[in-house]
Structure 1
């Protein structure tokens, strides 16, 4: 778990983005620090409205870079003029605000609250299905907090999901340190059964499966892909963090998979689903990563072309084995991170560009910034509908939208109908 310090400048839109960043960090088990000096990571959400503001942002970024070990710069100036921070020599990662929570995770597993109880946050029901994992990754500090997998019975989790649906959840997010190994402590691989049972609950809702390490999913990949194909309530989305395209690096990381298993799992889902979203993570600059290892990661990213990619620069965490390794220089890590992030934006941008002009059925999941709402199609791609209040659109509605544009990380859509479609049918990818 990490501690964070966040500072926000500018308009109410920036304030809303910072609140969303904090919500996602808290959901993953992170906690605010008393100030930047005591934080594992500082986050500067910037404004760029006038030249004086730009100078203030640069000065504050320089100050924060001196006060904390890790600085992330996001917000308007980061997106529009990110090169200014690099030109000024600020030691910071410049990221789109939606990338910030994943970057803070540093490649580690999320850490739900210790009681693993479900939470209803607006239309979203968060369902931690277990605590702990079966991995022993050399860079991860989370395992010290969570221990080995502890899986409640399937029926217990189904009842929690049912309670969320009855409380009004239109989207259930199945979470855990590693959802793919749910049930391993009882000698069974129970994720496919659990998802099938949750989808059989009466009601109109969608289900998103959280992070599942490739090592755990590989052994159930065919059964799991079949469950996705058979249940329209399941978003066709899976998060498989590969972390590196090099088997040598994966071995040093002590990951429970190798690149071949990751590829085989992706191929299985490709064969089972007409349209789906692959999400994955890469850690760049691991201490033993060579130039050749980095190129293997770049080649894997270009080959599988995931539509959601989290790129994280390696940083040492206390009490982990990787903390004792001789690290790579900051310049090397920055260059590799920049190259991979540029390729990622190209791939993700192409995916969203291909959606423009299509008509899709979406679920309105939550409010966005300003007068907008965030929607998800059947493959869990994010589509923003603006002027929501004027259009009578609110979370929980099911809409038919035409995709009118994209902004690399998400798409924009306009309702085809003048009134929301309501909750008559769960949305499906087309």
Structure 2
């Protein structure tokens, strides 16, 4: 497990983003360190309100880079002026807020404690449906903490979801180490059954399904795609971390799936849904990864064109089999990571750019920066509405918007 140090500068919205990052890191079994010197990774959530602030952010980034093993820079300055850090010689990953937890998790499954219960945070209800997984990835230390899949019954999870809705949840986030193998310990994968049952609960809310490994999804892909197509309460969104486009590397990672199975999952959802989001993860620089393997990952990304992509540079976790392998040099990993991130920004930017001029129904989930709100459309794509108070918009509202412009990883919309 990683020890993290996080520092936040700027407005209330930034503090809210840091709180969400920490929540996901804790869910992943990671712990806050007693300062950057004791941390495996430092996270700097930046502000860029004035020039003096920018200088302070650069200064602090350099200090953190010297004090800790890895540095992640996120927040307003990272998004608006990310190149400034590179130009100043700061060796850091420049990431959007949403990508930070996955980068720290290093491709590992999230970890929940045995007594994890549903949580209501604003209008977001978090529902852990099971604990553990069926995988044995060579780089992942999480398995040592969680063990095999342990699935409560469908009825028990439905009742927990109903309680969240009655408590005011407008978005239910289904979580687990690997949601795709829910029910495997009982001899039958039941994710599609669970989702169908939760959709029958009275109320206005949406459901987002959390990470599911491609192997688990592959066996129920037809059933899942049907449930998604038939139920508007489900965000048309799946998170299936492929991790590499090379079957050779996947074998060394012990990922259980092959590239073709991942592609078949994508093709099945493509056939069933018109507007949906594929989220996936790539680990760059696994110790056995060759130039050819890296090119295969880039080729896969171009082929399936995910609308959300998490790119993580491989780092060793203690007591894992992959930690015994001779690693690639940091420079090579950084070069490959930069190449993949550049392609990622092109693909994701195109996806959001194509939405400009379209109309979508969105759920308002939480406050954003200043007088804005963060919303998600039917495919769980982020839509920002500015001047929210002028329109009387609050978290939990459902409204139609016209997409007016797009950034790389989100777009802006006006209420209709």
TM-score category (smaller protein): over 0.9
| Mapping of residues 26-425 of structure 1, within 5 Å | 26-416=26-416
Alignment partner of 1:390: what SS? helix
- Shift in Å, 1:213: 0.1
Alignment partner of 2:37: what SS? helix
The range that moved more, 177-186 or 372-381, is 372-381
Deviation track 1:92-111 (CA, whole Å, cap 9, x = no partner) reads 21222332122111111111
Alignment partner of 2:403: what SS? strand
Alignment partner of 1:177: what SS? coil
Given that 1:116 and 1:130 are in contact with CA atoms closer than 8 Å, whether structure 2 keeps it comes out as no
- Shift in Å, 1:112: 2.6
The range that moved more, 375-384 or 4-13, is 4-13
Deviation track 1:358-400 (CA, whole Å, cap 9, x = no partner) reads 1111111222222211111111111111111221111111101
Q: Distance in 1 between matches of 2:240 and 2:10?
A: 36
Deviation track 1:194-239 (CA, whole Å, cap 9, x = no partner) reads 1111111111111111000001110111111111111111111000
Are residues 383 and 49 of structure 1, via their aligned partners in 2, closer, same or farther at CA, if it must alter by over 3 Å? closer
The range that moved more, 175-184 or 364-373, is 364-373
Are residues 404 and 45 of structure 1, via their aligned partners in 2, closer, same or farther at CA, if it must alter by over 3 Å? same
Given that 1:285 and 1:336 are in contact with CA atoms closer than 8 Å, whether structure 2 keeps it comes out as yes
The range that moved more, 237-246 or 386-395, is 386-395
Alignment partner of 2:82: what SS? helix
Alignment partner of 2:103: what SS? helix
- Shift in Å, 1:4: 1.3
Given that 1:16 and 1:369 are in contact with CA atoms closer than 8 Å, whether structure 2 keeps it comes out as no
Alignment partner of 1:311: what SS? strand
Are residues 360 and 216 of structure 1, via their aligned partners in 2, closer, same or farther at CA, if it must alter by over 3 Å? same
Q: Distance in 1 between matches of 2:45 and 2:157?
A: 37
Given that 1:116 and 1:129 are in contact with CA atoms closer than 8 Å, whether structure 2 keeps it comes out as no
The range that moved more, 25-34 or 340-349, is 25-34
Given that 2:11 and 2:369 are in contact with CA atoms closer than 8 Å, whether structure 1 keeps it comes out as no
Q: TM-score, normalised by structure 2?
A: 0.96
Alignment partner of 2:289: what SS? coil
Q: Distance in 1 between matches of 2:154 and 2:81?
A: 49
Q: TM-score, normalised by structure 1?
A: 0.93
- Shift in Å, 1:139: 0.5
Q: Distance in 1 between matches of 2:234 and 2:242?
A: 22
Deviation track 1:51-108 (CA, whole Å, cap 9, x = no partner) reads 5544433332222122211111123333343334334433321222332122111111
Are residues 410 and 84 of structure 1, via their aligned partners in 2, closer, same or farther at CA, if it must alter by over 3 Å? closer
Please give the root-mean-square deviation of Cα atoms over the aligned residues, in Å: 1.5
Are residues 52 and 233 of structure 1, via their aligned partners in 2, closer, same or farther at CA, if it must alter by over 3 Å? closer
